[in-house]
Amino acid sequence: MAEFAGYLPGLSADEVDWQVLNFDRGNEHVEIAVPVLSETQLGELAARVKQASRAHLKSLTVSQITDIIDKAIARLLDRNDPYRQKAERLLPLITGYDAEMVRLGLTHYLKTFRRAELQKFLAEDFTNPGILDDFQPVPKGGFAKASGPDLLVHIWAGNVPGLPLWSLISGLLVKAGTIGKVPSAEPLFAGWFAELLVEIEPKLADCLAVVWWKGGDEARESALLKQADVVLAYGGNDSLAAIRARTPITTRCLTYGHKVSFGMVSRAALDTGKAWSVAHQAAYDVIRYDQQGCYSPHVFFVERGGKVSPREFSKYVANELACFEQKFPRRALPIEEAGGVAAWRHAEETKSSSQGGRDIMGDAASAWGVVYVEEAEDLAPSGLNRTIKIVAIDDLADTAPRIAPFKAFLQTVGIAAAPEELFRLAASLSDVGVTRICALGHMTAPEAGWHHDGRFNLLDLVTLTEIERSAENAADDFAPYVD
């Protein structure tokens, strides 16, 4: 089976060099041909997208753009649509994730970008989204207009299927011409979405492009970064530092690096009627995409004093992980990731042999692992791929000092707690750097308009042009109706 990745306006297939990426799952083999553009071609492509952005994309209203995106999402939600069928067939093969997990995950994720949800994106960042179309009055007086970049360059990571949609759609909402670099781990979905948008609105044909280059190819990366008005990059901290260094000082560079997330379970959630449901939701956050997202939990802090003890709760979670393995089997791990899981387990077994009050559930052959810790300890990364630590704690209020050393890396916290406790804990979590708090079972599915790492999805991408009140008032002196 072979498939071409990318979307290259103005370039025919025979003008481009292609590299084949091979993916194997069981007896199935997939070849994905990714485009390898020269530095000159990348420069010409950037110029083409910039020009089309100014001529076509910026002539559309935000409402028209929202309608186009909504139609594309409706196609992708339709399981009879060829693009949806291709996604359901190929994404499990190239990512290794369970096909049913991908199917359900895609539906849930795509619903985030329907028309009503897109309006939430706009309303979260702009009091009056009309500011993206024309000058609008502002509270301080005068008028302002928000303009997206002519060229927004995205460098995407590939740990979760379909991930590029979030930033690609954010760019479209601010009328930014887009060139996105897809990752080798999942090079298909962004190109499909670009093709689908152009089918729906041919005016967008030259307003976006999807490209690829091998990670670490500084020459090609620099060629595109020099053309960008804004750069939006995802990945490891070292690679992001290199991207920042290669981005011109006058170009806005927004980066999203490694983050650590965790969960908290109050004693209020640990009665015999609720604890199983809470454990089920916690386990779901662990198994969804095998903890590859920045919002996936590494640790659950569980409070003592409930009818179900933290140790019993850890057994509930272990049972749920075993059940999920039957429904959504873990993908086959590459050697490096399998080594990471083994190293994590060995380290925990070593601690268990020298320290009391630790239980390890799930044997080395299991596709999951739970470590229960009786004595409270600090936050630490898990081995990923369905490995989780459950730490007993006397009072959840004592959690904040234990996570404070990770302030620069904290992101999502999933909480099961009563209302007053929720807001009390939220205040302390905010102080140590947490940017998102949600219910357990929702950690891996941020709401529409979520402020990624506490930042703005749209507002960070635009530039404001202001007409000050002085100019407005002075203009009256030159009006034809002046006496």
| Dist. CA 458–CA 478, nearest whole Å | 37
Q: What is the pLDDT of residue 57?
A: 97
Q: What pLDDT score was predicted for residue 482?
A: 84
How confident is the model at residue 199, as a pLDDT?
A: 98
Q: CB of 421 within 8 A of CB of 437?
A: no
- Where in 106-240 does DSSP place strands (E)? 136-137, 143-147, 152-155, 178-181, 208-211, 230-234
Whether residue 483 is predicted with pLDDT greater than 80 in this model: the reply is no
DSSP secondary structure code for residue 401 in this structure: H
DSSP 3-state of 4: strand
Share of the chain above pLDDT 90, in %: 93
Averaged pLDDT, 154-167: 91
Give the tens place of pLDDT for each residue, 272-282: 999 999 999 99
- CA 307 – CA 33 distance, rounded (Å): 56
Q: What is the pLDDT of residue 323?
A: 97
Residue 415's pLDDT is: 98
- pLDDT category of residue 42 using cuts at 50, 70 and 90: very high
Average pLDDT, the chain: 95
Reduced to 3 states, what is the DSSP secondary structure of residue 260? strand
Residue 356: pLDDT above 80?
no
What are the structural domains, with CATH classification, of the chain? 2-257+460-467 (3.40.605.10), 260-439 (3.40.309.10)
DSSP string computed for 23-92: EEETTEEEEEEEEE--HHHHHHHHHHHHHHHHHTGGGS-HHHHHHHHHHHHHHHH-TTSHHHHHHHHHHH
Q: Which of 379, 397, 398 is nearest to 389 (CA)?
A: 379
Number of H helices, E strands in the chain: 15, 18
Q: How confident is the model at residue 353 (pLDDT cuts 50, 70, 90)?
A: confident
Is the model's pLDDT at 450 over the cut of 90? Answer: yes
- The percentage of the chain sitting over the pLDDT mark of 70, rounded to a whole number, equals 100
pLDDT at 14 over 90: yes
pTM, two decimal places: 0.95
Range 179-186 average pLDDT: 96
Predicted pLDDT at 364: 87
pLDDT at 334: 92
pLDDT of residue 431 exceeding 80, the answer is: yes
Task: Please determine, for residue 18, whether its predicted confidence score (pLDDT) is greater than 90.
Answer: yes
- List of residues 6+ apart from 307 with CB closer than 8 A: 270, 271, 272, 275
Q: Which pLDDT score is estimated for 244?
A: 96
Whether residue 133 is predicted with pLDDT greater than 90 in this model: the reply is yes
Q: What is the pLDDT of residue 216?
A: 85
* CB 402 within 8 Å of CB 378: yes
Query: Quick one: pLDDT at residue 160?
Result: 86
Name the phi and psi angles at 64, rounded to 5. Answer: -65, -40
- Checking if the pLDDT of 354 tops 90, the result is no
Q: At what angle do helices 62-77 and 115-125 cross, to 10 degrees?
A: 140
Helix (H) or strand (E) segment spanning residue 371: strand 369-373
Query: Bridge partners of 155?
Result: 181, 233
Query: ∠ at Cα 370 (367, 373), nearest 5°?
Result: 165
Where is average pLDDT lowest: 68-82, 124-138, 347-361? 347-361
pLDDT of residue 26: 85
The SS3 of residue 230 is strand
The predicted-structure confidence for 283-340, as pLDDT tens digits, reads as follows: 999 999 999 999 999 999 999 999 999 999 999 999 999 999 999 999 999 999 999 9
Query: For the residues 12-18, what does the mean pLDDT come to?
Result: 95
Residues forming a β-bridge with 387:
369
454: closest CA among 432, 469, 476?
A: 432
Integer Cα distance of 49 and 58 in angstroms = 12
Burial class (CB in 10 A: 0-12, 13-18, 19+), 82: exposed
355 pLDDT exceeds 90? no
* DSSP secondary structure letter of residue 151: -
pLDDT confidence bin for 158, thresholds 50/70/90: confident
Q: Which residue, among 88, 90, 95, has the nearest Cα to 161 in the 3D structure?
A: 95
> Cα 230 to the chain's mean position, in Å?
18
- For 67-82, what is the mean pLDDT? 98
pLDDT tier at 103 (50, 70, 90 boundaries)?
A: very high
Tell me what pLDDT residue 98 has: 96
DSSP-derived letter for residue 455 is S
Q: Which two tokens stand for residue 49?
A: 């997208």
- 182-211 mean pLDDT: 97
- Provide DSSP, 413-445: EEEE--HHHHHHHHHHHHHTT--EEEETT-TTS
DSSP letter assigned to residue 212: B
Cα–Cα distance, 270 to 267 (Å, whole number): 5
